[in-house]
Structure formats: structure tokens, C-alpha cells
Amino acid sequence: MDKKLSKLGLFALTALAVACSENKQDTSDLSAKAADTPAAVQALSQDASKANADNAADTAVQSGVDYHSFANMDVYKVEHVNLDLTVNFDRKEISGSATLDIKKLNSDSKDPLILDSRALSISKVEAISKEGNRELSFNMGEKDAHLGTPINIEVGDATKVRISYKTSPQASGVQWLTPEQTAGKKQPFLFTQAQAIHARSFVPLQDSPKARITYSATIHTPKDLRAVMSANNDPDSQVDGEYQFEMPQAVPSYLLALAVGDLDFKAMGKRTGVYAEPSMLEAAAAEFEDTEAMLEATEKVFGPYRWDRYDLLILPPSFPFGGMENPRLSFITPTVIAGDKSLTALIAHELAHSWSGNLVTNAAWRDLWLNEGFTTYLTNRIMQLIYGDERYKMEMALGYEDLQADLKDFAPRDQIMAIDLRGRDPDDVFSNIPYEKGSLFLFEIENAIGRDNFDEFLRTYFDAFGFKSITTEDFLAYLDKTLLLQYPQKLSKERVLKWVFEPGIPADAPKPYSPAFETVDNIRATWLDGSLAIENIDSSKWTSHEWKYFLDGMPEKLSPEQMLSLDKQFSLTSAGNNEVAHSWLMLVVKNDYQPGFKRVHSFLTSIGRNKFLRPLYRALKETGKLELAREIFNEAKPGYHPLSVKVNSRILYPEDK
């Protein structure tokens, strides 16, 4: 998932009672952007962190244990899932069956198979065999408000289990859109979002990043709609209401994805293309036409692409993230279609996940930095390969600024890369710490041993752990056997452990630098002190990165005259680039600039990305405009994803439990 354009970022933490089974998996066989957190919310983070620390004070985090899954993965392994599902837009329901191929890891165990679910209605469970089917006894365990409900199935000696079920209309991982909420306004739309633990809301399974599965699916839809999945999509398949899919590579559950809508396809290269609603297809294909070049450049440096094709799916604006790295088919927000390729770092990020995240996966959400730190590092490298050094330096510098903002606002316990997430909702843990601190850690290693040597290490790392889920400790053990052994004079174990397990960043860490931003700093400063007239600012060659940096570096309070002159000179209220518009609208709200509030309203009611929503709703609340914020939120709420509703409700209705 993209950090700069889609991260959750804010640790608005909630204590929960985790009733997980002990699901530690033996890993010995392994060969191997920023939230300006207000003080009130930061206090919640610190309180929650303290409570979490108190509860876990006498126990250490167990490496390899997924504290956010009920599944007994030490007893059973689900190897393959076959789905036969029908999508019903009238009832907002997915129904059918999931057939699980299971392997008992302990032949003497009489334990039931325990699966994860959330708000699923289970009608029947059967053992499937050549001798015939037989019903199996099952029961639903105690419901947890955050984790859902375990399904306990007495499987006996069965190796194939079919679960017949249907989803809830309020499934946390499914969004149903009316025709009016889509770009084309003619057909409904459905998409799923499984990360972090939402796959269990539309499929009963072992919902853990360490539980890798292959899967196949038959999806039944209304006859004039196309289904696509994180699998082998066929753009030439007839739109007839029935679609077949295969995912032959083993993937973690959070990468299981489905979308259904009025979708067309346009190729962008031999292995790349884009699915989108017809009205957005040409613009999307033009914006992201460099995707094939990105894929080829990444292969040359970091090793082969192992997923056959890499296509994009452009979702409706309500998608709560910038992008989601579903293998073979990244889900992308339309808000990055800027017309000038200025926001294509998101595509580079989701593509990079094909190596770091999808291929080598964090075994638990505590180890998220293994996904996102590596991917952020690769993203910057891809941007350099395609767009050059200046763009690379700006991307790096913006990431560093994002990191500094989170280090300033987050409690020390939340600044640790291998973070203790016990008692937390994993939806709340995406921040610049795993993304940018993780990337900066790798950048330091690159600087220490040289880029060519580090690239060689990354290639061997992706080979060693390909299609495996690993822990922080697995990575550190691999580092011991490789770089720390090869470069004892340049790298130290003590320094590595400081990066991973201590808050903040170590002294003398590298600081990315952009000459272009230094120029912007000087222009901003001289305009603010009155020595540079606004009409003498030459912004004709500025990129969106420079515009964003220019606006984000403004003091929170500007005079009415300054706000008016900025808007009049640069037409910022009508800015078409969503990143630039968001930075401007934050100033609009904080400075009560009335000419901009119509755009604030239209922005919040037309876009569902939490990266944009949450800071604006917070700013409205903090500047005494809570009623206006609630009014806009309640108007926009029917079109928001359930996750967006949850996250922003915490800000606007903190009294609701």
C-alpha cells in the first residue's frame, strides 16, 4: 500500500481484548504521507501506548505470532482456496462457497480447524471427498469487536472442506457503490479491500499475512458487468456474467481482491494494461503509460518480475487509499490522474510491492516495515530510473519531511520499526515509521557499502525469501549471514538493532537533500518577509512536488491579504492536482479563508482517500468548525468506504464508542 498517497498514518489507537489462539508458525525452514497529528489525538496515542505497555510489560512479543488472527496455523495449513461466489447488488451480498484444501501439520492432533471470519453468515460446512460429501460439525466462537468471530470446524480426517456462506451488507472489506457514485453514473460497482484483516469479512479463511494460499474462483455477476481479481485476468473474456480466475502463486490473505463494474481494458505494454470505467480509460492509460518502462527497469536492477502480468484497476474516487498492491492487478485511486504524470510515484510504489511485500511478505503486522520500508526504498529508485536524479531527490526529501513530522508527533513506542501491536487494531498502524524510517535505514546501508553491492544483496534477498512470509528476526538473521559478515568495517549489528528496535532515528543518519527545494525555501522566505513581490515569483517550471513543498512550508497562520494574493496569483482554490489542492485547502481551513470553503466542501464530498480526508476533518474540528465538518461528513458518508467512515468518525464523533 502506498505510503505517501494512501497511508493511514494516524495512531488513533483503541484497546481491544485479543482472544487469539497461539498461532506461532515455525520459520526455521526459511532459507532465509504525513499526518500532522494534533495534541489531543497524540495524547490518545500515548495513553493507548502506555496501556499496551502496561499490559505486555511482563511478556515479550513472540516473533512469528500473529496476534490479529484466531487461526490455529500451527495445527492446520490452508493450502488452496476455491471460491464459487455470486455478487448481488440489490442485497449488497456476496454468497456462495469457499472450498479449502487443508493440511494437518500435527497428525495426532484432534483440534478443530479454526478460521477467521467477520460478520459472515455460515449455512453449512462439508467435507468433500471422492467417496461423497458429508456435513461437518462447526460452531462460531465468541465475537470480538475488532477481530471478528472464529469458526471452529470439527474436520476429523478431512482434507477438503467446503463452507457455504454469505457476507453482510456492512462487510468491512467490501464497498458497494450505486451508479451515481461511479464515474459513468450508469452501473453499480463493487470492490474489496482486504488489508489488514478484512479478507475475513468476505471469505472464511486463515486471515494472516503468514498464511499464504493459492486460489481459484468462479464469480457470477450481473450480465453486463465485468469481474476482475488479483489473479490471471483475461481482458478478452466475454462480458457474460461468469468469470474464471486462477492465482497459481501463493499469496497472503490480504492480497485476495475482487472488483465488479463497468470496466474496459487498454494495453500499455506487453505485460501491462489498465482496467477502468470507459469514461476514465484513455486518461488513465495516458497518465500511466510509463508502467511498462518501470517494470522493465526494476527487473534489470532487482531481479525478474514473477507475476506474469502487471495491470492496473482504476477505482471510483471513494477508494480510501492511494493504491493497493494486489498482485497482477494493483487497485489505484483516480485522484492521481493529474494529467502530467506528477503523481506516478504511486504506480512505482505498488509495482515495487511485486518484489517487497507480495513476493517477500511480513509475517505479522508488527513486521510491516519489511513490506513498506523496502517498497518505499524501491519506489525512489524506480523514480530515479524513469524520471532522473532531480525527481529522485525531491521524492526522497519529501519522504524525509514526512518522517520528521511523525517522529515529532508520535509517542516513542510508536517510532519503533518492529512495533509492538498487541492490543491494537492493525488498521491504525500504517505510518511513516515503517515506510520512511524503514527506507532511510536501507538508504544508510546503501551509502555504507555502495549501491552496486546493496543491489546485489537485494537480488539475493528476494531470491532467498521469494513467496515466503518472514519476521524481523528472520531478516536480521539473514543480515548476519550476509552483509554484516561481508562488510564488518562498514556495518555494525549494534547500529542495525538501534534502527529496528529503538525510537527515533540514530544520530548521523543520512538526510536526503533536494536543491530544487532549497530554491523554493528561499522564494517562500523572501515572499513572507516582504522582499519579494508575489508577481515576481516565477513558478512556471515548478512541478507539483515544488508546489506542495512551497505550500506545506507556509506558517499555519497567514494574513487575509497573503491568502488572497496567493489565490489570485496562482488560482490555488481551483488547482487540478489533488496533492496541491489538499495542501492549499489545509491553509484555507486554518486561516478561515472563506473564498476557498466551497472547494473544501466539493473536495471532501468527491474524494474518499483518507490521506486527504482525515487532515481536513481534523483541521475543521480544531479551528472551531466541528458542525460544518459533521455536516459535510454526513453528506459524503454514503459514498465513503467503511474504513474511511470508521477513521473519520473517531475524529468527528469521539463520544461514540
Residue-wise pLDDT for 209-224, tens only, equals: 999 999 999 999 999 9
The C-alpha atoms of residue 34 and residue 470 are separated, in whole angstroms, by: 27
- Kindly state the average pLDDT of the residues 431-439: 96
Do the Cβ atoms of 484 and 496 come closer than 8 Å?
yes
* Mean pLDDT lowest among 9-18, 100-109, 504-513, 587-596: 9-18
> Tell me, what's the pLDDT at 213?
98
pLDDT over 70, % of the chain: 91
Residue-wise pLDDT for 301-315, tens only, equals: 999 999 999 999 999
* Mean pLDDT lowest among 16-20, 230-234, 524-528: 16-20
Residue-wise pLDDT for 320-369, tens only, equals: 788 999 999 999 999 899 999 999 999 999 999 999 999 999 999 999 99
The C-alpha atoms of residue 458 and residue 464 are separated, in whole angstroms, by: 10
The C-alpha atoms of residue 366 and residue 414 are separated, in whole angstroms, by: 11
* Mean pLDDT lowest among 25-34, 181-190, 619-628: 25-34
Look at residue 44 and tell me whether its pLDDT is greater than 50.
no
Look at residue 89 and tell me whether its pLDDT is greater than 80.
yes
| SS3 assignment for 525-571 | HHHHCCCCCHHHCCCCCCCHHHHHHHHHCCCCCCCHHHHHHHHHHHC
Residue-wise pLDDT for 151-172, tens only, equals: 999 999 999 999 999 999 999 9
Catalytic status, residue 435: yes
- Kindly state the average pLDDT of the residues 415-436: 90
Look at residue 52 and tell me whether its pLDDT is greater than 50.
no
- Kindly state the average pLDDT of the residues 186-203: 96
- Kindly state the average pLDDT of the residues 627-647: 92
| SS3 assignment for 622-645 | HCCCHHHHHHHHHHHHHHCCHHHH
Host H or E run for residue 44: helix 39-55
CB under 8 Å to 597, separation ≥6 — which residues?
588
Host H or E run for residue 78: strand 76-88
Which CATH superfamily does the domain covering 3-53+388-501 fall into? Neutral Protease Domain 2 (1.10.390.10)
Residue-wise pLDDT for 451-476, tens only, equals: 999 999 999 999 999 999 999 999 99
Amino acid at 358: N
CA atoms within 13 A on the CB side of 473: 9
Do the Cβ atoms of 415 and 436 come closer than 8 Å?
no
Do the Cβ atoms of 231 and 245 come closer than 8 Å?
yes
Strands 329-332 and 323-324: antiparallel
Of 626, 564, 611, 619, the C-alpha closest to 590 is 619
- Kindly state the average pLDDT of the residues 632-644: 90
* Mean pLDDT lowest among 51-55, 92-96, 305-309: 51-55
More confident residue, 36 or 100: 100
CATH topology of domain 516-527+541-652: 1.25.40
* Residues forming beta bridges with residue 85, ordered by sequence position: 96, 219
Look at residue 180 and tell me whether its pLDDT is greater than 80.
yes
> Tell me, what's the pLDDT at 46?
37
Look at residue 177 and tell me whether its pLDDT is greater than 80.
yes
> Tell me, what's the pLDDT at 2?
63
φ/ψ region of 471 (left if φ > 0, alpha if ψ in -120 to 50, else beta) reads: beta
Do the Cβ atoms of 611 and 9 come closer than 8 Å?
yes
The C-alpha atoms of residue 12 and residue 277 are separated, in whole angstroms, by: 35
More confident residue, 33 or 424: 424
Angle among Cα 423, 428, 434 to the nearest 5 degrees reads: 100
> Tell me, what's the pLDDT at 657?
59
Where are the chain's structural domains?
A: 3-53+388-501, 516-527+541-652
| SS3 assignment for 578-601 | HHHHHHHHHHHHHCCCHHHHHHHH
> Tell me, what's the pLDDT at 555?
97
**Which cell numbers hold the place of 430?**
500504517
Look at residue 135 and tell me whether its pLDDT is greater than 70.
yes
Residue-wise pLDDT for 479-503, tens only, equals: 999 999 999 999 999 999 999 999 9
User: For all residues of the chain together, what is the average pLDDT?
Assistant: 90
pLDDT over 90, % of the chain: 82
Q: DSSP of 321-344, one letter per residue?
A: SSEE--TTEEEE-GGG--SSSTTT
Do the Cβ atoms of 369 and 433 come closer than 8 Å?
yes
Strands 174-177 and 468-470: unpaired
The C-alpha atoms of residue 480 and residue 572 are separated, in whole angstroms, by: 51
Angle among Cα 143, 216, 309 to the nearest 5 degrees reads: 115
Confidence of residue 3 (pLDDT cuts 50, 70, 90): low
Look at residue 80 and tell me whether its pLDDT is greater than 60.
yes
> Tell me, what's the pLDDT at 107?
83
> Tell me, what's the pLDDT at 11?
35
Q: Which is catalytic among the residues 126, 325, 350, 546?
A: 350
CA 55 to chain CA centroid, nearest Å? 28
The C-alpha atoms of residue 331 and residue 138 are separated, in whole angstroms, by: 35
More confident residue, 53 or 413: 413
Look at residue 18 and tell me whether its pLDDT is greater than 80.
no
Residue-wise pLDDT for 262-281, tens only, equals: 999 999 999 999 999 999 99
Catalytic status, residue 400: no
Residue-wise pLDDT for 535-552, tens only, equals: 999 999 999 999 999 999
The C-alpha atoms of residue 588 and residue 190 are separated, in whole angstroms, by: 34
Q: Which is catalytic among the residues 165, 254, 435, 461?
A: 435
Look at residue 35 and tell me whether its pLDDT is greater than 70.
no
Of 295, 349, 447, 424, the C-alpha closest to 6 is 349
The C-alpha atoms of residue 335 and residue 315 are separated, in whole angstroms, by: 10
> Tell me, what's the pLDDT at 207?
98
